[in-house]
Structure 1
């Protein structure tokens, strides 16, 4: 594997995603343990922590205590909080909390997955995005829209790069400023990453594009390298690569492992300014969270 050794021109935003890592666990993680784990991650120095979600507890029971978890977080660091919402009810809950900076919405370019994940069509979800943006403006929040199934889907729904570009354009026209192209089920490849991301960045220079990739351990490093070679400046990942979307498949494909992202960026000479002692403590506590 080749490695770029120069520093990147743009600052890299690392988004740590314990919410995505935990949401598919069958055994409920006690609220106090979630708080302990998240408070350590908050001290590491990531740009953003994807900490919880305001969704139906029937759909994602692991996240039913998001409001209680939020109340126990130490927000003395500069790390910002992101919460996932799946409908306007979730948006209306999340915007009440001044501690939350970002509301993340999964907008799938696969009709099958949009119905499966949010019980709404793509057309209905586009309307939800528009209403979410209006509420975010009124309540001083920022919206992050995930272009879910952005690298393909397991349902046989049509996918190509023109479809990705079309829906990115639709979101930009609605006023979305941050778009994260999301893999969801691990079908991204280095070739697809390099094919998709640079044209989007070129077409929409004022939009912040990120990547939310899922991967088997064997493919992580090649995807990380492709992402940063493609100009990625916003990367989602999770400690040890835990997680996956329980609404997408029975066999979860884990997240990109944060430690692999850190290792790669260190090799490039990128200054991350992370507290690796706190990171080590979080790694130890993760054993109690994930078993």
Structure 2
């Protein structure tokens, strides 16, 4: 089995971004502050994107000012979708990671960032240079990583090609993202093992979307294939507002914790603070 350390990435940004009613800034910050106490490796806390595209995230700067990072081991990740967003994100010393959604579906890349795949890769190269200059780490989310609903060409070779391109420009962390929930144990196992074998220096993770009935088999397939980096969201809220209407939600953090507990894996999380965050989440998700 893998000797890679376990990294759990909690994604309140992903959970909140699709909620239409605006969540007050102080409430967002209070919730994220509770998550910061739990001990996750990373908190995906906000995004520097157009407020027209994702209105819920228009207060990311204000939320950041209210976060208490004095007693947490968690690092902060912010999502960006273009160079302008990256230029703003790198100004904040509190942020360690910038996350960029890079689709290997031409249709979805256009829908998500109004650019072609080739244009998006140019943007990635510029953002990577910016990250290096500002001591930030770029995390690439390969969206539509397990297939797409648009009929765009897709196979494991296309995925591997783009992982190779990212590695070539110095990207070290890539999350295979199941934007619309089409992953299954077979393709998770196949893709993860093949990409890991082809690109051993890449820290490869999964950002899976799932229905409640399939989430444990997906978690198990990723774990058995050697994955040690998991994105999830408390209670499985969220999904991708740009993908399609009937959202397939994020994998719930409690499903991952339950699975790891069954495997007798020590997560190192403070479960008292976790329970507190779970209870507080009712103020956000109702």
Shift of 1:8: 5.7
Shift of 1:52: 0.3
CA contact (8 A) 1:24 1:246 kept: yes
Partner Cα separation in structure 2 for residue 9 and residue 266 of structure 1: 18
> For each residue in 1:186-237, what CA deviation from the matched residue of structure 2 results, as whole angstroms up to 9, or x when unmatched?
1111111001001111111111001000000010000010010010011000
Shift of 1:138: 0.6
Give the corresponding residue for 1:98.
Answer: 93
Give the corresponding residue for 2:277.
Answer: 282
What SS does the aligned partner of 2:284 have?
helix
Residue 109 of structure 1 pairs with residue 132 of structure 2: no
Unaligned runs of 5+ in 1: 1-6
Give the corresponding residue for 2:42.
Answer: 48
Partner Cα separation in structure 1 for residue 234 and residue 116 of structure 2: 32
CA contact (8 A) 1:8 1:270 kept: no
Partner Cα separation in structure 1 for residue 194 and residue 179 of structure 2: 21
Residues 182-261 of structure 1: pairs in structure 2 closer than 5 A: 182-261=177-256
What SS does the aligned partner of 2:164 have?
helix
Of 92-101 and 199-208, more deviation after overlay is shown by: 199-208
Shift of 1:266: 1.3
Shift of 1:10: 2.5
Residues 1-291 of structure 1: pairs in structure 2 closer than 5 A: 9-76=3-70, 77-291=72-286
Aligned CA RMSD, in angstroms, stands at 0.9
Runs of 4+ in 1 over 2 A off after TM superposition: 7-10
TM-score by length of 2: 0.98
Shift of 1:281: 1.0
* Counterparts in 2 of 1:72 and 1:198: CA distance versus 1, 3 Å: same
Give the corresponding residue for 1:3.
Answer: none
Q: How many correspondences in the alignment?
A: 285
What SS does the aligned partner of 1:210 have?
strand
Shift of 1:159: 1.1
Shift of 1:9: 2.9
TM-score by length of 1: 0.96
Partner Cα separation in structure 1 for residue 62 and residue 247 of structure 2: 27
